[in-house]
Amino acid sequence: MRKGTFFIFLLLLLGDATLVFAQISHGGQPMPLSITKSTDETLYVEMPHFDLKDQLHQDSLEAQGLKSGFRFAYKFITDYTPENSGIHFTTADGTRVWRLGIHSANAYSINLLFSKYELPKGASLFLYNANQTQVIGSFNYLNNSEKKLLPVRPIDGDRVIIEYQEPKDVAFHGVLQVGEVNHGYRDLRAYKEPQPSWNSFKCMNPLSFYQKQTTQYDNIARSVVLMIIDGGVLCTGSLINNTANDKRPYILMASHCLNDSFDVENPDYESVAGSIVFFFNYETPTTSTDFLGTEEMSMASSHFRAANKATDMALLELTETPPVYYRPYYSGWNAQDAGNAPYTGIHHPRGSVKRVNIADSIPTLQNFFTNIYGFNDNNFWYISKWLSGNTTAGSSGSPLFDANNRIIGALTGGNPEASCSHPIDDYYYALKQSWTISENTNKQLKHWLNPDKNNNILLCDGLDPYESNSCYRLSNIRNNGDIDSIEIATKSTDTKEYLFGTNSTNTSEYAECYKVNGDVRIYGSYIVCPYIYSLSEIKVEINVYDNVNGKPGNILHSELFNPAVLYRSTTDSTFQTMSKDLNKDTESFIPFSSEVYATNTFFIGYKIKTTKGALFTVYSLKKTRTTQNTSWVKYNDNWIEAAKYSPIGYATSLYIDPVIQYTIKTDSKSIVTPPNIYITLGSEKQTVQVFLPENPRQSRAYLISLDGKLIQAWTLNEQESTLRLKTVNPGVYIIRVSYNRKTYTQKIIL
């Protein structure tokens, strides 16, 4: 079996909060440590010693056995509650506070699982390190769930402090129990994105490498997620659609990722499913894997739906649909046969950014480890050799797609000697072999993926759960097609005088211009920047400006640049505060803590407010790579185009990519467009079909580029219209339909 758990820098990922119930945080700060006079002896509990050499030896044996149990942390089972541990005090306003410190000597990190978690409205929970420089929280009643669990990402170092605040007038006393303390015995931050000496990685091109050439993978790649299971196991999974198209967020994965490579005799699948953290859009912003991907889009906790040890199949369901700005996609599937070549594998090897494999020969059904693990005969699609790419630890559970972008299987394992020079022998369990293998619904796929018992559908197309009004990532650099021609712009090669950042030229505010066709909501922005020595030594604001005479004008919204800190809840629009390690070139996503709207032209940028030695800038397009300048510099209180600002003097773009959603305005209030019409792309991508609820009256349709340029327009004379498209460059476009005094928008990929 492909080992699902070799960690690189992975637990940086667990710096993310999760969207629903489990790990989404809700702002605020813990009380100063100085508020009490407690000593280490009264505050801290000590974790017992364990034999690290023996643990590493066990890990090596599992690796040799091709099991997916490669761990980074040693698990202590505990029972710490406010009733039996820690210290208590009450503040002047009657707030009751419980603090508990946990010390595990020589740990690189500590992560916790609250095995009991139920808080009243008004109460708050924080976790932080010994000097409060790393804070997670607050968690509150919105994190309550039917599982009564709260998995929390690691805190660096060998000490963590829990702080629970409960006002005096609450409906009930909170219930908390620390059921697991995980001692990180591997220095996860010491791992880096694969180096050339790692032979198994050299041929694994990232998703962005192929996106420069084709849009074929854009949708299905959005379905692939990275998973941290039970605080110590890494695998890959994928969102998968069902024939009801009811937007249920199922996750297809491998069962050996859930049961410690079958070492657990009677696994509690529901409990393990509740411990998983899922990461979306973890990708590199260039074709270079030197960049860390976005870590901010995550969810935690799921429900168990099905697993079958005999086929290695497993199916989970997220507790809620990922939010629209995650841009999720539910891949289609083929439970009938192998489909047609070429085949695509998309995965997160060793916790790294998303990679793509390609094979050009039709796989056959084969046996794999039948005698050792009891897998059924002819259960696996056999990929004899990859044309491009390879798999390794962490790829377990990743989907295999046919030429029609339908999943036909998920990765179980392969040849441990496979490498880039010899990319051979991978085995994906076949969906068709797990379809109706058991009468028990929790051991088969058909019950979940084809819920209509009166049909026998074996093929299903993919689904965008927000297809009526999706979000789009705007990017002047990506639209330019030159994501690899970026640089850290400086005054000269021997200086750290950043042209778009920290410098001595009295400039500290920079912006990027975006043009859209109509009204949009801006959910947040990607920022691609070089490493920052210490985020605590600088203060940077991300600003959205309106358009005044073609220049950045009034600030519509301001958000502190503190990546992996602000996470939007779909239930109450609140955000968390938490720090992130930026000691490597990184793409981060900064979600906005309130609704932000703009019309036609807006600017998004950053202002460096303070710096105590740390430097800050954003990547920009190299000189001569574009003739269309979109970047601006504020100098002496005046906004100047970068091409006309003498220290720069050339056209360029900043790598600042907002995520937007088209809206309409009614009674001066911006709202998301309802799905009253249907827009579909013809099979040959030469036509667009528009279906209206009734015969049109003065209706028009428009083809628009993502930068707001009108490409084509039509008058709609029929309830069902087929619109023939001009020949345009491949890419993402917008279809806007004006109908019955309303406007509808949808993305298409040509």
Structural domain boundaries enclosing 525: 471-662
pLDDT digits (tens, 9 = 90+) for 607-620: 998 877 778 999 99
Please say if the pLDDT value at position 629 is more than 60. yes
Give the count of domains, the chain.
Answer: 3
At 196, which helix (H) or strand (E)?
none
Please check whether residue 296 is in contact with residue 524, taking contact to mean a CB–CB distance below 8 angstroms.
no
- For 242, other C-beta atoms within 10 Å of its C-beta total 21
Residue 40 maps to a domain: yes
In whole angstroms, what is the distance from residue 368 CA to residue 374 CA? 9
Please check whether residue 39 is in contact with residue 171, taking contact to mean a CB–CB distance below 8 angstroms.
no
Those residues with Cβ within 8 angstroms of residue 700's Cβ, 6 or more apart along the chain or in another chain? 713, 714, 715, 716, 737, 738
Please check whether residue 184 is in contact with residue 333, taking contact to mean a CB–CB distance below 8 angstroms.
no
Mean per-residue pLDDT, 731-743: 75
The CATH number given to whatever domain includes residue 733 is: 2.60.40.1220
Confidence of residue 199 (pLDDT cuts 50, 70, 90): low
The CATH number given to whatever domain includes residue 90 is: 2.40.10.10
Strand partners of residue 559? 542
Residue 135 maps to a domain: yes
> Tell me, what amino acid is at 5?
T
Residues 657, 690, single domain; the answer is no
Q: 3-class SS at 477?
A: helix
Residue 360 maps to a domain: no
Please check whether residue 410 is in contact with residue 252, taking contact to mean a CB–CB distance below 8 angstroms.
yes
The token pair that represents 496 in the structure block: 């750290």
Residues 646, 697, single domain; the answer is no
Burial of residue 529, with CB atoms counted within 10 A of its CB: 0-12 exposed, 13-18 middle, 19 or more buried:
buried
Residue 269 maps to a domain: yes
> Tell me, what amino acid is at 552?
P
The CATH number given to whatever domain includes residue 500 is: 2.60.120
Residues 478, 448, single domain; the answer is no
Smallest CA-to-CA distance from 198 within 420, 426, 346 is with 420
Please check whether residue 1 is in contact with residue 184, taking contact to mean a CB–CB distance below 8 angstroms.
no
Residues 531, 587, single domain; the answer is yes
pLDDT, residue 741, reads 61
Q: How far is CA 147 from CA 169, 188, 537, in A?
A: 26, 29, 40
Residues 179, 269, single domain; the answer is yes
Residue 215 maps to a domain: no
User: First CA to last CA across the chain, in angstroms?
Assistant: 38
Residue 257 maps to a domain: yes
pLDDT, residue 72, reads 66
The token pair that represents 580 in the structure block: 């992130």
Smallest CA-to-CA distance from 533 within 585, 490, 583 is with 583
Please say if the pLDDT value at position 550 is more than 80. yes
- Sign, CA dihedral 478-482-487-490, equals negative
Question: Pairing state of beta strands 44-46 and 96-103?
Answer: parallel
Question: Pairing state of beta strands 620-621 and 669-672?
Answer: unpaired
Confidence of residue 584 (pLDDT cuts 50, 70, 90): confident
Please say if the pLDDT value at position 709 is more than 50. yes
Q: State CA 438 to chain mean position distance.
A: 34
Residues 55, 89, single domain; the answer is yes
Number of H helices, E strands in the chain: 8, 44
pLDDT digits (tens, 9 = 90+) for 474-499: 999 998 878 999 999 998 777 778 99
Residues 241, 258, single domain; the answer is yes
Higher local confidence (pLDDT), 240 or 183? 240
Residues 152, 260, single domain; the answer is yes
pLDDT, residue 463, reads 95
Residues 645, 508, single domain; the answer is yes
Range with the largest mean pLDDT of 29-33, 194-198, 575-579: 29-33
Strand partners of residue 158? none
Q: 3-class SS at 190?
A: helix
Please say if the pLDDT value at position 560 is more than 70. yes
The token pair that represents 425 in the structure block: 């022998």
Residues 148, 253, single domain; the answer is yes
Higher local confidence (pLDDT), 449 or 64? 449
Q: With 0.95 as the threshold, say if the pTM is over it.
A: no
pLDDT, residue 740, reads 66
Those residues with Cβ within 8 angstroms of residue 69's Cβ, 6 or more apart along the chain or in another chain? 3, 5, 59, 62, 233, 260, 261, 263
pLDDT, residue 729, reads 77
In whole angstroms, what is the distance from residue 396 CA to residue 2 CA? 5
Please say if the pLDDT value at position 17 is more than 70. no
Residues 1, 50, single domain; the answer is yes
pLDDT digits (tens, 9 = 90+) for 345-358: 999 987 789 999 99
Residues 702, 570, single domain; the answer is no
CA angle at 140 for the pair 136 and 145, rounded to the nearest 5°: 110
Please check whether residue 19 is in contact with residue 322, taking contact to mean a CB–CB distance below 8 angstroms.
yes
pLDDT digits (tens, 9 = 90+) for 645-676: 999 999 999 999 999 998 854 343 443 444 45
Mean per-residue pLDDT, 721-741: 78
pLDDT, residue 358, reads 97
In whole angstroms, what is the distance from residue 243 CA to residue 666 CA? 35
Residue 549 maps to a domain: yes
In whole angstroms, what is the distance from residue 207 CA to residue 347 CA? 10
pLDDT, residue 89, reads 92
Backbone phi, psi, residue 669, to 5°: -115, 130
Residue 278 maps to a domain: yes
Those residues with Cβ within 8 angstroms of residue 117's Cβ, 6 or more apart along the chain or in another chain? 139, 143, 144, 145, 148, 149, 150, 175, 176, 177
Those residues with Cβ within 8 angstroms of residue 159's Cβ, 6 or more apart along the chain or in another chain? 44, 101, 102, 103, 110, 129, 130
